[in-house]
Amino acid sequence: MQDHPTATPGDELMQHFEDLADPRRQSGRFQYPLQELLLTALCAVAAGAEDWVDVSEWGEFKLEWLRRFLPFEQGIASHDTFSRVFAMLDSVRFEACFRSWMAQICPSLAQEHIAIDGKTLRGSRTADGALHLVTAWHCGKGVTLGQIRTQAKSNEITAIPELLAGLDLRGATVTMDAMGCQKAIVQQLVDEGAGYIIGVKNNQPTLAQAVQGLLEQAPAKADGRTWHEHSETDKGHGRIETRRCVVCHDLSAIAPVLQDWPGVRSVVLVQSTRQPVRSGRFGPRSTEQAPEPSWRYVRIHAPLLDTPTQPVNPLKPA
């Protein structure tokens, strides 16, 4: 039996999950205590594990390290045990515990980039449909701040406000794809003191047409006052890619369209030219920054938004 210290750094993490009930029947001692399953899973996922097989294998590889925090008298559970126990956990309570832990790791989100994105989990499809998760991702620390489950991508519109409500977004910049381009969501971000950069597509046709029409008037060379421009060229993966970011701060021409969209102070066009693929994205934002900061946010979030053959139009209020 391994010696187990009375107080360890792992205790601080586990304290956030002490209110999470073990769903297994209380029939005495379990072979694998819930705290050991939680500690293994949380650390493994943070290290890049993508499924329960990965979690179990990571635990076996790091068993001696894990025993610095908890006894692990029976070693590491099988992937089937992880899958079975986590499927029985109270997901609402687990989410609350997880957010409590993340709030300690990231006590303030001011000046941070938070990406909101929805993904359908591979292998989760059942007769009732596939499981869809809407996630808040801290781009600086590389951690998930919270998740909301939905049964369809169309339900992201209702899940996003719930997810945002659980975060202290004061001073943060939030990016989303066009699914989040909703007046109520934008108002919520403004009310919470967050900036935002949001993609716009034809789910908001009037706004999309107005923004696209304005950005199509961009001069060949930015004047540095109303229009700003920044470009980068990268070589890699057997191709050359040039990215151009154009920002317009004079929104007077589309002011009537923007009156129901609080906080919009500029619109942005991001074009990517690859050989031989070309794509473009445009949108509004809520700050009057030069294009370099805007480009940083769009570029980090872009892999979550589109592929080279599927252009996205980011609308940027932030």
* Residue ranges covered by each domain of the chain: 9-90, 113-315
- Residue type (1 letter), 4: H
pLDDT confidence of residue 290 = 55
Over range 105-129, report the average pLDDT: 74
Quote the pLDDT of residue 311.
31
Residue 304: pLDDT band by 50, 70, 90 thresholds? Answer: very low
Q: Looking at residue 285, what is its pLDDT?
A: 64
Q: How many residues does the chain have?
A: 318
Q: Which pLDDT score, from 0 to 100, does residue 5 have?
A: 47
**Of 9 and 246, more confident:** 246
Residue 124, pLDDT above cutoff 60: no
φ/ψ region of 139 (left if φ > 0, alpha if ψ in -120 to 50, else beta) reads alpha
Q: Which of 33, 23, 78, 71 is nearest to 51 (CA)?
A: 78
> 20-24, 187-191, 276-280: lowest mean pLDDT where?
276-280
Helical residues (DSSP H) of 106-226, grouped into ranges: 156-165, 183-191, 205-215
pLDDT of residue 310: 30
- Which of 80-94, 130-144, 255-269 is modeled with the greatest confidence? 255-269
Q: Give yes or no for residue 107 having a pLDDT over 50.
A: yes
Q: Is the model more confident about 314 or about 196? A: 196
Q: What is the Cβ-side half-sphere exposure of residue 90, based on CA atoms within 13 angstroms?
A: 10
Task: State the DSSP string of 35-75.
Answer: HHHHHHHHHHHHTT--SHHHHHHHHHHTHHHHTTTS--TT-
**Of 71-85, 218-232, 240-254, minimum mean pLDDT range:** 218-232
Identify the CA nearest to 211 among candidates 219, 221, 200: 200
Buried b / exposed e over 206-220, threshold 16 CB at 10 Å, is ebbebbbebbeebee
Span 78-92, average pLDDT: 86
pLDDT value of position 191:
94
More confident residue, 302 or 155: 155
Statement: residue 60 has pLDDT above 90: yes
The helix/strand/coil state of 272 is strand
Q: Rounded CA gap, 28 and 31, in Å?
A: 10
Q: At what angle do helices 52-61 and 34-46 cross, to 10 degrees?
A: 100
Location of structure tokens 């809407």: 134
